[in-house]
Amino acid sequence: MSLKRLSEADEGSGLAAARVRIGQMAAVAVASAVALCASCSTSRKVSDCDQDRQQLQQALDSDQRIDQWLHGADQLATQGQGQRAAAIIADKAAPLASAAVQQLRAWNASTRWGEAHKQAALQLLQERQQTMQRYADALGSDDLQRVVDQMSEQRGVEKQAMQLDRQLREPVSLAAGDCDRR
C-alpha cells in the first residue's frame, strides 16, 4: 500500500470515527432536549396549578373574613342584640360575599383541577350568601328558634369551607392530568 493510500485510509477511518462521535453527541443533545422539554412541561403544569391554588385560596380567605363577621353577629345575638347582629351581616358580611362571588366568576382557571375547585368554591360562597341572608332575617325577627337553626346552618357551611380548604392543601396529581390546561 502506498503512503498516499495509507494516509487516505487513516483519514477515512478518522472521519468515520468523528461521524460516529458527532452522531452520539447529537443523540445525547436530542435526548437532553426532550428531557428538558418534559421538565419544562411539568414545571409549567405545576406553576399553573399553583396559580389556580392561589386564586382559590383568596376566595377561601374572603369566606374566612365573612365568617369572622358572622361570628361577631353570633356574639351580639347571644347578648340579645339581634337587630345589630343583622345589620353587621347586611353591612359587612354580605358585601364581602358579593365581591368574592363576582371575583370568582370573573376568574378563568388555568387547569382542570382549578376549574373543578372553582366550581366548589363558587358553590360554597353562594351557599354562604343564601344562608347568611336567612340568618340576618332570623336575627331581625328575634325568634330564638330561627336564630339557633340558622346558626346551625352557618356551621354546616363552615364545615364545607374547611373541607374545601383541606382539598386545596392536598397534593395535585400530575399523572392524572389535573394540572393540564383546560
Residue with cell 346558626: 151
Confidence (pLDDT) at 17: 55
Closest CA to 93 of 56, 128, 42: 128
Q: pLDDT per residue over 79-133, tens digit each? A: 989 999 999 999 999 999 999 999 999 999 998 889 999 999 999 999 999 999 9
Q: What fold does the segment set 48-169 form as a domain?
A: Four Helix Bundle (Hemerythrin (Met), subunit A) (1.20.120)
Q: Is the model's pTM score more than 0.75? A: no
Confidence (pLDDT) at 158: 92
Bigger pLDDT: 40 or 107?
A: 107
Bigger pLDDT: 16 or 95?
A: 95
Residue 153 has pLDDT above 70, yes or no: yes
CA angle 167, 74, 117 (to 5 degrees): 15
Transcribe 109-140 into DSSP letters.
-SBHHHHHHHHHHHHHHHHHHHHHHHHHHHHH
Residue 89 identity: I
Helices 3-78 and 112-141: crossing angle, nearest 10°? 10
Give dist(CA 78, CA 71) in Å, integer: 11
The mean pLDDT of the chain is: 79
